[in-house]
């Protein structure tokens, strides 16, 4: 039952602070699933995961289990993974390729387009049931892709995906333009981690430039103790450079570009330049990759592409990705205090194979379940959730850099300092808008 009026919800978000209830109240979480996750475009994955007719993967849109599938005509569909007979999941596999989805309960058989094709002992239904539109697997009403990345929205109407992304689409361009063949594809496995904390904590943390020196202190110290000469293998080099970078002096963080876009999106620029991290300019693999990219787009354009040092991009409310490092993280809220994050790595088509090994090495350092970096973040999310669940102190203070924002290119604001909490404030502006858009008292 919704016990919040729109005014009460709006009062939870102030210019420089938010009420702890936004992280801890199950009633608000239930409303978020409806009003934010039920309305926004949600990142689901990439077209390379459904490359051929009949290819599919299963995922969730908030609590809703869905199947993302390429139907036999080649169209990408997002189907509600629920049998229209008596309700079970029709598909239990994580991914695969099929000509049909067969419900395990009584064998109703659906086409990849969702249509009900076959029902055992159909004669028991007067007039038959096959082909009835109301008994097809329900379709998520809006599905769209940008540069191969698949999104869907439960809302039958609303802004286009292009309008939803606005200038943040440039982060997708950054990821794809880096591929010499002009395309990327999901490759390797997937990292899944879960934490006992609210879904917003990860989206805030990925664009929080103050925390690394503190949360990741132990790994910074460990990396500093390593001699530089250890960095002879790419994987070791990546690990040491990444960890040392987290311990950069405050002046470096203050110089970063921190950007806020529409709908709660944002990104962090300038964090890692290529000469500081993974694809070090002297690396022969990188030289080969650069040559392949230059051959396709010209040396000048290749330099332009590789000079973009964008780090984390947040596509609110369910995605955080690293275009420069080919990492795509999809956030799935489970409960007010439970969240799953699935991380995918991408291969740059046309790049040397060894570039993908760098990608996997980076994934292991930053997003792997045994990562020395990620584990620190997960620990702090859980401590935050425990603190926010205490009832004695109401407000969370987000005032760093308030009032210092400067307009940037169209649709973007830049933090007046690289450690500004502008991205968090921006996320809550979107939160408030989504959460109060329904008419008063609506569920």
- Residues in contact with ligand FES by CB under 6 A are 83, 85-86, 88, 103, 105-108
* Cβ nearer to ligand FES, comparing 105 with 395: 105
Cα gap 438→106, rounded to integer Å: 39
Find which of Fe ion, ligand FES, none residue 78 binds, CB within 5 to 8 Å per kind: none
Tokens of 262: 């529409």
* Cβ nearer to Fe ion, comparing 71 with 377: 377
* Cβ nearer to ligand FES, comparing 37 with 110: 110
CB of residue 148 to Fe ion, shortest distance in Å: 28
Strands (E), 49-115: 55-61, 64-70, 76-80, 95-97, 101-102, 109-110
Find which of ligand FES, Fe ion, none residue 86 binds, CB within 5 to 8 Å per kind: ligand FES
CA terminus-to-terminus distance, the chain: 8
Q: How many residues touch Fe ion (CB under 5 A)?
A: 1
DSSP type of residue 267: E
Cα gap 335→61, rounded to integer Å: 13
Inter-residue contact 198 to 182 (CB < 8 Å) = no
CB of residue 246 to ligand FES, shortest distance in Å: 50
* Cβ nearer to ligand FES, comparing 68 with 103: 103
CB of residue 90 to ligand FES, shortest distance in Å: 7
Inter-residue contact 146 to 152 (CB < 8 Å) = no
Q: Cα separations (Å) of 424 from 133, 187, 242?
A: 44, 31, 24
Burial of 178: CB neighbours in 10 Å, binned 0-12, 13-18, 19+: buried
Q: What angle do CA 179, 182, 188 make, to 5 degrees?
A: 50
- Give Cβ neighbours of residue 331 (< 8 Å, ≥ 6 apart): 199, 202, 203, 317, 318, 319, 320, 339, 340, 341
SS3 assignment, position 52: coil
Tokens of 263: 């709908």
Find which of Fe ion, ligand FES, none residue 85 binds, CB within 5 to 8 Å per kind: ligand FES
* Cβ nearer to ligand FES, comparing 24 with 83: 83
CB of residue 351 to ligand FES, shortest distance in Å: 45
Find which of Fe ion, ligand FES, none residue 243 binds, CB within 5 to 8 Å per kind: none
* Cβ nearer to ligand FES, comparing 64 with 208: 64
- Residue nearest Fe ion, Cβ-based: 377
Instruction: Scan residues 367-386 and list those touching Fe ion (CB under 5 A).
Output: 377
Q: What angle do CA 189, 190, 193 make, to 5 degrees?
A: 145
> Cα 324 to chain center, whole Å?
15
* Cβ nearer to Fe ion, comparing 165 with 373: 373
SS3 assignment, position 361: helix
Find which of ligand FES, Fe ion, none residue 214 binds, CB within 5 to 8 Å per kind: none
Cα gap 368→363, rounded to integer Å: 6
CB of residue 82 to ligand FES, shortest distance in Å: 9
CB of residue 65 to ligand FES, shortest distance in Å: 14
Q: Cα separations (Å) of 69 from 44, 79, 148?
A: 11, 8, 14
* Cβ nearer to ligand FES, comparing 56 with 362: 56
Find which of ligand FES, Fe ion, none residue 250 binds, CB within 5 to 8 Å per kind: none
CB of residue 76 to ligand FES, shortest distance in Å: 24
* Cβ nearer to ligand FES, comparing 132 with 338: 132
Find which of ligand FES, Fe ion, none residue 88 binds, CB within 5 to 8 Å per kind: ligand FES
Find which of Fe ion, ligand FES, none residue 377 binds, CB within 5 to 8 Å per kind: Fe ion
Tokens of 375: 């584990």
CB of residue 389 to Fe ion, shortest distance in Å: 22
Find which of ligand FES, Fe ion, none residue 108 binds, CB within 5 to 8 Å per kind: ligand FES
CB of residue 62 to ligand FES, shortest distance in Å: 23
Binding flag, residue 177, Fe ion (CB under 5 A): no
* Cβ nearer to ligand FES, comparing 111 with 405: 111
What angle do helix axes 299-306 and 284-297 make, rounded to 10 degrees? 120
* Cβ nearer to Fe ion, comparing 245 with 345: 245
Find which of ligand FES, Fe ion, none residue 106 binds, CB within 5 to 8 Å per kind: ligand FES
Q: 120 in the Ramachandran plot: left (φ > 0), alpha (ψ -120 to 50) or beta?
A: beta
What angle do helix axes 26-35 and 422-435 make, rounded to 10 degrees? 80
CB of residue 92 to Fe ion, shortest distance in Å: 34
CB of residue 427 to Fe ion, shortest distance in Å: 17
Task: By CB under 5 A, name the binding residues for Fe ion.
Answer: 377
């Amino acid at each position: 039952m919704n016990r919040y009026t729109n005014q009460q919800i709006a009062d939870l978000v102030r210019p420089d602070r938010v009420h702890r209830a936004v992280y801890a109240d199950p009633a608000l979480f239930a409303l978020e699933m409806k009003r934010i996750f039920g309305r926004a475009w949600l990142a689901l994955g990439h077209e390379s995961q459904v490359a051929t007719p009949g290819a599919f993967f299963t995922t969730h849109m908030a609590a809703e289990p869905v199947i993302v599938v390429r139907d036999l005509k080649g169209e990408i569909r997002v189907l509600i993974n629920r049998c229209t007979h008596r309700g079970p999941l029709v598909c239990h596999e994580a991914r695969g390729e099929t000509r049909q989805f067969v419900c395990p309960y009584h064998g109703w058989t659906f086409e990849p387009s969702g249509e009900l094709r076959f029902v055992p002992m159909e004669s028991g239904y007067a007039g038959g049931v096959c082909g009835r539109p109301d008994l097809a697997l329900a379709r998520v009403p809006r599905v769209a892709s940008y540069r191969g990345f698949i999104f869907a929205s439960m809302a039958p109407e609303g802004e286009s995906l292009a309008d939803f992304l606005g200038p943040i689409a440039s982060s997708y361009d950054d990821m794809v333009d880096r591929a010499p063949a002009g395309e990327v594809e999901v490759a390797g496995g997937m990292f899944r981690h879960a934490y006992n904390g609210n879904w917003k904590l990860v989206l805030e943390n990925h664009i929080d430039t103050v925390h690394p020196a503190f949360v990741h202190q132990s790994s910074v110290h460990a990396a500093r103790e390593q001699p530089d000469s250890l960095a002879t293998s790419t994987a070791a080099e990546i690990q040491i450079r990444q960890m040392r970078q987290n311990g950069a002096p405050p002046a470096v963080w203050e110089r970063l570009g921190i950007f806020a876009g529409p709908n709660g999106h944002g990104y962090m620029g300038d964090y890692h330049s290529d000469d500081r991290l993974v694809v070090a300019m002297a690396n022969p693999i990188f030289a080969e990759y650069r040559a392949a990219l230059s051959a396709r787009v010209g040396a000048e354009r290749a330099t332009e592409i590789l000079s973009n040092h964008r780090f984390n991009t947040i596509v609110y409310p369910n995605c955080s990705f690293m275009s420069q490092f080919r990492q795509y993280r999809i956030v799935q809220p489970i409960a007010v205090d439970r969240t799953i994050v699935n991380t995918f790595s991408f291969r740059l088509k046309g790049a040397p194979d060894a570039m993908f090994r760098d990608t996997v090495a980076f994934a292991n350092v930053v997003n792997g379940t045994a990562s020395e970096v990620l584990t620190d973040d997960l620990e702090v999310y859980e401590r935050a959730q425990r603190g926010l669940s205490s009832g004695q102190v109401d407000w969370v203070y987000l005032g760093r850099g308030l009032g210092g924002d400067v307009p940037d290119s169209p649709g973007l604001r830049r933090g007046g300092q690289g450690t500004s909490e502008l991205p968090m404030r921006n996320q809550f502006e979107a939160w408030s808008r989504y959460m109060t858009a329904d008419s008063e008292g609506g569920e």
